Amino acid sequence: MNGTGIVTTQASAGAWMWAGAVAAGLALLGVAVATYGDVPIAIMPSFIPTSSVAAIIVDGLVGYLLIVHFFIFRQPAIGFAASAYGLQACSALVWLMSFPGAFTSDALVGFSSQAAMWIAVFTYIGFPALILAAVLVHWLRGERLIPRDYIPFAVLVCFCAPFIVVAVANWFAVRHLELLPALIRHGDYAALATSPLGAVLWGINVVALIAVTRPGNVFFLWLGVSVFAEFIGMSLWLSAAARHTFEWYAGQAAHLVSAVILLAALQWEVHQLYPLLARANEALYRASVEDGLTGVYNRSYFNNQLPAELARARRQRQPVSLVMIDIDHFKRLNDRYGHPFGDRCLVEVAKRLREQIHRPGDFTARYGGEEFAMVLVGASAKGVRDIAELTRRKIEILRIMPPANQSEMVALTVSMGVATLEADDAADAAGLLAAADGALYGAKAMGRNRVCVAERPAAELIPAVTQNAEVVALGDGGRDAVGNAGADREDR
């Protein structure tokens, strides 16, 4: 399901298969019921109240979910469909109010049998008419959305329209029944099926059923199955010769099945959103913390995570080390071979740095430009120094082919500054960073392509970074040297 909602999400082959299977099952049940439709069944006084309450709840839930989708995705087709199921819920409420014993011993609203039939007819015409309106507006507007400023008003209209339609239909059926032709003649309920009005009911429902399956997306596919169930229920109700027959009861139940089908489909589609939302959130988070070129973490992640790792390491009484890495003469390489070559160098260096990340809490980040940072938790100062030296040697043997000259292989070197904060040290992330940065300056000052380790605790080096702090250098075959941590770095 994409970001514009279920109306624009094309149905998969699996969805078509399931929808077809459900529709085939409904058709078989309809044929079976029609075969024994005139079989009388004992009168069940609780059937109408129970089925009406269930229809109010299920149709109301479907209408509510569609209103929510409409509010979020702003697709007018969903709004019309919401009104259609709202109309069904309101009609079921009227039926419940007109049934004796549902609320009081007498009916809350007194309807004659003729008026009740006409209210049902209005419902069976109004529902497919709203479905046709949903399909039509989808064809006319395509994927164009309703402007956000108009959405509150549109939602209000979709919510209020069913109540208004049902109220007007009830008023007309009760107050002006004499203007309407009789639908029940001498107790025969089947006369409607052969009347012109019956042809209208058949026609508008068939047209709605055909039209709703045309768009081919997830929403209209399952809406079509729901309309098909409603069509079967309307057909059974229309052809029932009398009340309390198998056909009549089945027609009433089919209406509930229609709403349940779409409710289940909507719930399934909402359920499908959860893994998509989780993946989208994960992708968004990774995009916010990862460097787009090298795939390692970015400066923002480093700034947030280093203090967190320091706090966790202190609680667990573990040392934390920071290795600052700078590619030597990177600007010169960039200027000579071009930015694509420079990007390739950054990617290859980041790959070698990632190979050293093994423990929970360890991470590598691109600190800026050609500079990287590597945080190692739990390793001793000597172990971190050995890891840094091993990484430097792996990068030193790298050979990268420039795109403009495939016969030339360019070597890379890096300078590294290492600082370790023991569990008892009082320095914070800024102190650790200052110590490692000072050691990196020392490595640059002594000729590059080497590892320099801050000799004193990071807490003591905070003011000493600009005051010629001592560092111990490794490199050039393992020779130790003492340099000036305050020297300037080239290419930074």
CATH number of the domain that 428 lies in?
A: 3.30.70.270
Is the pTM here over 0.85, yes or no?
no
Q: Are the beta carbons of 327 and 345 closer than 8 angstroms?
A: yes
Residue 224 and residue 259 in one domain: yes
Quick one: average pLDDT of 281-288?
Answer: 88
The 10s digit of each residue's pLDDT in 163-213 is: 888 888 878 877 777 788 777 776 666 677 778 888 888 899 999 999 998
Residue 230 lies in a domain: yes
Cα(160)–Cα(166) distance, integer angstroms: 10
pLDDT at 322: 94
Q: Which of 285, 311, 336 is the last residue of a domain?
A: 285
Residue 144 and residue 262 in one domain: yes
Q: Which of 250, 285, 320 is the last residue of a domain?
A: 285
Residue 1 lies in a domain: no
Residue 214 and residue 339 in one domain: no
pLDDT at 111: 64
What's the burial of 484, exposed, middle or buried (CB within 10 Å: 0-12/13-18/19+)?
middle
Residue 340 lies in a domain: yes
Residue 491 lies in a domain: no
Residue 76 and residue 218 in one domain: yes
Which residues are registered as beta bridge partners of 472? 453, 482
The 10s digit of each residue's pLDDT in 261-274 is: 989 888 887 787 78
**What tokens appear for 96 in the block?**
């419940």
The distance of Cα 143 from the centroid of its chain, to the nearest Å, equals 19
The 10s digit of each residue's pLDDT in 55-76 is: 899 999 999 999 998 888 888 9
Residue 203 lies in a domain: yes
The 10s digit of each residue's pLDDT in 221-234 is: 899 999 999 999 88
Residue 197 lies in a domain: yes
Residue 21 and residue 105 in one domain: yes
The 10s digit of each residue's pLDDT in 374-428 is: 999 988 889 999 999 999 999 999 899 887 776 788 999 999 999 998 877 777 8
pLDDT band of residue 441 (cuts 50, 70, 90) is very high
Q: Give residues with Cβ within 8 angstroms of 281, minimum separation 6.
A: none
Residue 370 and residue 441 in one domain: yes
Cα(435)–Cα(383) distance, integer angstroms: 18
Cα(429)–Cα(420) distance, integer angstroms: 11
Q: Are the beta carbons of 184 and 197 closer than 8 angstroms?
A: no
Which residues are registered as beta bridge partners of 46? none
Residue 319 and residue 173 in one domain: no
Of 1-5, 35-39, 137-141, 341-345, where does mean pLDDT reach its minimum? 1-5
How crowded is residue 255: how many other Cβ atoms within 10 Å of its Cβ?
A: 28
Report the SS3 class of residue 482.
strand
Residue 349 and residue 268 in one domain: no
Q: Which of 285, 311, 332 is the last residue of a domain?
A: 285
**What tokens appear for 51 in the block?**
């089925």
Residue 492 lies in a domain: no
How crowded is residue 103: how many other Cβ atoms within 10 Å of its Cβ?
A: 13
pLDDT at 283: 87
pLDDT band of residue 466 (cuts 50, 70, 90) is very low
pLDDT band of residue 109 (cuts 50, 70, 90) is low
Output the CA–CA distances (angstroms, integers) from residue 327 to 302, 308, 311, in the order listed: 19, 27, 30
Cα(489)–Cα(326) distance, integer angstroms: 10
Q: What total number of domains does the chain contain?
A: 2
Report the SS3 class of residue 1.
coil
Residue 276 and residue 321 in one domain: no
Residue 351 and residue 234 in one domain: no
Report the SS3 class of residue 318.
coil
Residue 323 and residue 277 in one domain: no
Cα(148)–Cα(154) distance, integer angstroms: 10
Report the residue count for the chain.
Answer: 492
Residue 306 and residue 260 in one domain: no
Q: Which residues are catalytic?
A: 370
**What tokens appear for 355 in the block?**
């190979």
The 10s digit of each residue's pLDDT in 118-169 is: 888 888 899 999 999 999 998 888 778 888 888 889 888 888 888 888 888 8
Residue 97: pLDDT above 70?
A: yes
Residue 334 lies in a domain: yes
Domain that holds residue 177: 6-285
C-alpha angle 126-129-132 in degrees, rounded to nearest 5: 155
Report the SS3 class of residue 356.
coil
Of 303-317, 451-465, 475-489, where does mean pLDDT reach its minimum? 475-489
Cα(79)–Cα(422) distance, integer angstroms: 63
The 10s digit of each residue's pLDDT in 342-386 is: 999 999 999 999 998 888 889 999 999 999 999 999 888 899 999
Residue 108: pLDDT above 70?
A: no
Cα(39)–Cα(363) distance, integer angstroms: 76
Q: Give residues with Cβ within 8 angstroms of 467, minimum separation 6.
A: 486
Of 313-327, 357-371, 404-418, 446-460, where does mean pLDDT reach its minimum? 446-460
